[in-house]
Amino acid sequence: MSVGSNIKHDSSYGHVTGTSIFVDDRSPLRNEIHVGVVGSPYAAGNLKKIHFEEALKLPGVLAVYTAEDLSHNRWGAIFKTQPLLVDKEIGHFDEPVAIIAAENKEVLPKARKLIKVEVEEKEPLFSIDEAIKKEQHVYKATPIIKGNVDKALKESPRTLKGDFECGGQEHFYLESQASIVYPLENGQLEVHSSSQHPTETQHLVAEAVGVPFHYVTCIVKRMGGGFGGKESQAAPFAAYAGLCAYKLGRPARLALTKDDDMAMTGKRHPFKNYYEVGFDDNGKILALKADLYSDAGPYADLSSAILERAMFHIDSAYFIPHAKITGTCCKTNLPSNTAFRGFGGPQGTMTIESIIEDIAFETGKDPAEIRKINLYGKETNNTTHYGQLIDHNPLPEIFEKIIQKADYKKKRDEINKFNKENNGKLRGLSLGFTKFGIAFTAKFLNQGNALVNVHLDGSIQVSTGATEMGQGVNTKIQQIAAHAFGIPSNLVQVMPTSTEKNHNTSPTAASSGADINGSATLKACNKIKERLKIVLHKHWAGEISDGVKEYELEDCGDLSHIVFEDQQVLDKKHGHKISFKEALSIAYFNRVSLGSYAFFKTEGIGFNKEKSEGKPFNYYTNGAAVSEVEIDEYTGELKVLSTDILMDLGRPINPGIDQGQTLGAFIQGMGWVTGEQLYFSDKGKLLSHSPTTYKIPNIQDTPRNFTIEFIENNNNHQAVHRSKAVGEPPFLLGISVFMAVKNALTYRSRERVKLVSPATNERILEQLSGNMNN
């Protein structure tokens, strides 16, 4: 059967042969124009005037547009406070202030140099600490409170206070932000965008040019990577191209260079989290008070939702009896930060995992022991600090299996011996968990729709609101539809995502793309199947003749004995059999619809912020990783010797794709906590804005020994075919590498190790040369 099989990614051949079409690969039209973006040369200030007269004199420059040319100039995924183009107050360096329309892209950089921006400068803020001191914020979250944390802390045998800091991260998708907009008749626009959220792109383009939503269609064939960076921030760039196309009546293409993309767009949110934790002599956590501060940048974007997920995931996999978690999105003058794989979950999880390492240091116990006694249980200690019951909890079994699989105790003994006998090399070991909640925390986003069209030759076209960014969601939807009708997966084609076919869609994010859109697809397939069953039931009973007798669908009772398999439809009760294509022909000639639309919404979720209780997540994807690292004590160089991963992914729809997602997410997470660091000038300009200055992990950074294994779990009835989401959860396992570094440093430290993430070679060396015994 198709579901559960390792069929190839639907774009695999195209990617390998170079025939896959991305936005900027679309053939240029004869009268097409190119669009460039002019960024602010200041990080903060009031915009006085934009001088672009000289640029307009350049041959090939058609127009320069500013905020005055927009019909609507405020946008935002949650709070609509961010300007498309700066009209008064500048929020960050390289913030778009104007756009250029030109005959060719070669003239764009020349025109940009001729445009002068007159600004009344202000003093910018570039750090969370500065923002806290000056009480600058864009959002304050409702606290999550459980029990009496102050009383529990006061009565705890031991307490620790401290802060944990983790940096931002560049998305580094291979395809930069890109859009092409084609003007159609009657003022309509057809937008092709590299976007995770076609509906938001459609709406923002329409608002920017001043037309109703139904005048704009947004189409997304695929993206060359997204990772959250194209959830909200793709829409403005489509609006810039849309404005040029609408004003000039010509197709408009905007494709940022990698340098411009990195400089203009937001990143993963840096966090600085202050905490006080109470625990007993065995290391069991009794209470946690945590104040989370994120760097939102100048605008809200998705920062509030990201902060709240960090607050939800501050527990990682551990039961906390008493808790008070607060959160603030700080306002700074760095590019407005946005969604990134994990969506705040990693920043919350990393904090408690670091606390676990500190508790182990204080009690003199192995960190794995501390993790074990604090793990969520099955019958008791199984309610989160936000009141959600963790049912079907596999964490205790995962712990035992990963300890065995990774040979943890043997590795720990070997490391203890190695670190005593060696001078110049230092090793560390850590176990990390992911307990990632699956659902949008904004309840209304947990909806989707699908259109399924069955053709008379037995082939099928499926359209959903999901967008393909390489993660394989189209392939999973293809398998779901093929499985439903009992046909080979190559007879199913998932069509480009279009707001014309699937309207009011949610972004492909929150690891919910396959869950929501796959469920809608299955629902639509089942509607068609029920019609076919009735047609064939009447046909086999002699109640209709092909193409002759008019026929009205009606309830025929239980028809579960009619099944679809091996490109046939079989009546297993009466022994009838017919090919799938013949069944379609009978239905067609009797004027029965072979297409269906279905709507799906995730049931049973919701969270009351005021009461700090509810069920914000549909279920959890769980996993664990054990990572071992080696550090060169003279250079700070880090090597990951081994990583063993164990994941609970329910019953995977495509195990091969899920394995790829697990591997990729872990490596991306590992990069965030080790080598990937953002550098800004003292003026707020991003310095690490290219592949030469910003380094993602390469093959030499990956674990020398790397294993991934899935546990069998058929109990997840909350998702299609009992599968589980995989896109984001394994990212959090990369944190195990950072904790292994921290663990290694404890072998040379007199006191608790305070290590800021990412653990770059320089930071490791600073720790070794600072508070170390040697």
Catalytically annotated residues: 728
CB atoms within 10 A of CB 480: 28
The amino acid sitting at 755 is L
Tell whether the torsion through CA atoms of 648, 652, 656 and 660 is positive or negative: negative
User: Which residues in 527-581 belong to E strands, given as ranges?
Assistant: 562-565, 568-571, 576-579
Contact 678, 694 (CB under 8 A): yes
Task: Indicate the SS3 state at residue 340.
Answer: coil
DSSP one-letter string for 192-261:
EE--S-HHHHHHHHHHHHT--GGGEEEEE---S--TTTTTSTTHHHHHHHHHHHHHHSS-EEEE--HHHH
> DSSP assignment, residue 182?
E
Per-residue buried b or exposed e for 45-76, using 16+ beta carbons within 10 Å of the residue's own CB: bebeebebeebeeeebbbbbbbbebbeebebb
**For 402-556, where are the E strands, in sequence order?**
425-438, 447-454, 460-464, 492-494, 497-498
Strand order in the sheet with 425-438: 425-438, 619-632, 638-648, 705-711
709 within 8 A of 647, measured Cβ to Cβ? yes
Instruction: Give Cβ neighbours of residue 601 (< 8 Å, ≥ 6 apart).
Output: 446, 447, 448
Would you give the distance in Å from CA 497 to the centre of its chain? 18
d(CA 103, CA 31): 8
Cα torsion angle, 584, 586, 588, 590, sign: negative
Cα angle 433-303-434, degrees, rounded to a multiple of 5: 5
Rg (CA), the chain: 28
